[in-house]
Each structure stands twice: as C-alpha cells, then as structure tokens.
Amino acid sequence: MRLSGKTCIITGASQGQGKAAALLFAKEGAKLVLSGRRAETLEKVREEIILQGGTAVCFVADSSVEEQVRELVRFCADTYGRLDIMYNNGGSCTFGPIHTVSTEDFEYCMKNELYNVFFGCKYAVLQMLEQNPQGGTIINTASVMGQRAFSGSLSHATAKAGVLAITRSVARDYGRQGIRCNALSPGFIVTEGTEENTKNEKLVDFYKKTQVIDQLGMPEDAASAALWLASDEARFVHGATIVVDGGTEATVLGGIDGY
C-alpha cells in the first residue's frame, strides 16, 4: 500500500474532495485525522473508513482559526506519534467582480482560503521539524483560478494565488529538512457544494467548453492526484502545482470555442 503506516491530517474531510481523499488514503494504509466543522458528517466518513478496514479519528476544528489548527496538529501527534502528511483541503469562499465585493466578503475569503492554508502549513512544519525522523509532506488545495483570470472570481482567485505562493515558499525553505510542499489545482469538480450548478445546462456547457473533454471532474480525480503527491513516488516533486482540470488551463490559454 502506498501510504502504509503514514499519519495524515485532512481538513475539509466531511465531503467532496476531502472525503474522497480520506477514503482513498485509508485504503492505501494511512492513519487519518479527519477534520472539519461538522462532527456528524465527519463521523459518517470515519465509520465508512472503519468499515473498509481503515484507521481514522475525528477532530472538529475550524481551519481558519489559528488556535484550532494548532490543536489539530497537536492532536495528531498525540494520537499517532507524528504527522507525515498534512492535506490543507478545507475552505469556503465568495464570488463576484470587484465593484460588488464588500471588504467583509473579501476578508471572509482570505480567512477561509488563504489564512487557513498559512495556519496549516505553519503548524505542520513546526511538528515535522520537531519529530524524529524529521520531515513530512504538505499538500495545499489551490485552484486553476489562482493561475488564470475567470470572470467574477476576484476574492477566490486572489486567495488561491496566495496559496500557490505559500506552497513555493514552504518548499523552498524546508526542502533540505525533509519537508515536501506541493499544491493541487483542480478545475470544476462536482461536489455537494457545486452539484446545484450541474442542473444549469448553460453553465455545464460552459464548463465543458473550458476543457478539452466533455466529462466533468469528480472528487476522486483530485483525490488520486493528491494520493500521488502524498506518496513516496513523488519524492522528487517540491514546490510544484499539479493541475487537475480536464485541460481548462490549456483551453483558456488557447481561447474557448464559441466564447
């Protein structure tokens, strides 16, 4: 198994990409700490992992609150003895062009999509430097919107561009101390939070036109890429951004057909 014996925190683990990663990582042998804001939904994921023979515990935390992230990492170390993989996946955001975005909305997005990654990286690094043997792997969820401009995505795009900067900085500063840090940049992924959008045929058609394939992304697509980044197979990958977007980045660069 690709993650046999490794300990892992996944934030935003109760649904979507986080849940898919939790189920996959557990199958590959990881011992998990599932984190999120809702105890009931986290427990359902934990029960599913236990039924498939995996190991997982839950820790309710808001990843945008520094003290709670500190306690989350401490809990993992106390429970399993160390932290091998920190998957900063959780987050929430607002959308809109700049003339409609309030300062409060912008700050909300920074808190829940940028500060949370900063906190997750900070306390993961502190733990990974302290433990013996030293080191570990950090994965940050970014977005193709952090790399390319999309209409009405100012706050989200700004936060995700910041996530990419954090990722490169952490990789640069700690690579020689055994810590790998990389980012995952998904395109449109069908999750509980985005499923409503798939009922809008015009919107689905637009999503497909931004890709090179007609199939929409699923949580398992992102989880599979995250698994590779978490595994020792990616030992030579530092400060990279793995794009999982059905070709959106390539298509947007070349122009969207009909747009």
User: Is 98 contained in some domain?
Assistant: yes
The maximal CA–CA distance of the chain, rounded, in angstroms, is 56
Indicate the average pLDDT of the chain. 92
C-alpha span between 226 and 258 (Å, rounded):
33
User: Quick one: which H or E segment has residue 85?
Assistant: strand 85-88
User: Is 73 contained in some domain?
Assistant: yes
So what's the pLDDT on residue 252?
59
So what's the pLDDT on residue 195?
61
- Taking only the tens place, the pLDDT of each residue in 79-95 is 999 999 999 999 998 88
Average pLDDT over residues 199-213: 77
User: Is 175 contained in some domain?
Assistant: yes
Average pLDDT over residues 37-57: 97
Q: Which domain holds residue 56?
A: 7-254
C-alpha span between 68 and 27 (Å, rounded):
27
C-alpha span between 233 and 241 (Å, rounded):
16
CATH value at residue 62: 3.40.50.720
Average pLDDT over residues 114-137: 98
User: Is 1 contained in some domain?
Assistant: no
Range 246-250, long-range pairs (CB < 8 A, 24+ positions):
246/187, 246/188, 246/211, 246/212, 246/213, 246/215, 246/216, 246/217, 247/211, 247/212, 247/213, 248/144, 248/148, 248/187, 248/188, 248/210, 248/211, 249/144, 249/147, 249/148, 249/187, 250/212
User: Is 68 contained in some domain?
Assistant: yes
Average pLDDT over residues 162-176: 98
Instruction: Report yes or no on whether pTM surpasses 0.85.
Output: yes
Q: Per the structure, how many domains does the chain have? A: 1
Taking 60 as the threshold, does the pLDDT of residue 49 lie above it?
yes
Taking 80 as the threshold, does the pLDDT of residue 145 lie above it?
yes
User: Is 14 contained in some domain?
Assistant: yes
User: Is 2 contained in some domain?
Assistant: no
Taking 90 as the threshold, does the pLDDT of residue 107 lie above it?
yes
Question: Residue 258: which pLDDT band, with cuts at 50, 70 and 90?
Answer: very low
Question: Residue 76: which pLDDT band, with cuts at 50, 70 and 90?
Answer: very high
User: Is 259 contained in some domain?
Assistant: no
Q: Which two tokens stand for residue 157?
A: 């795009």
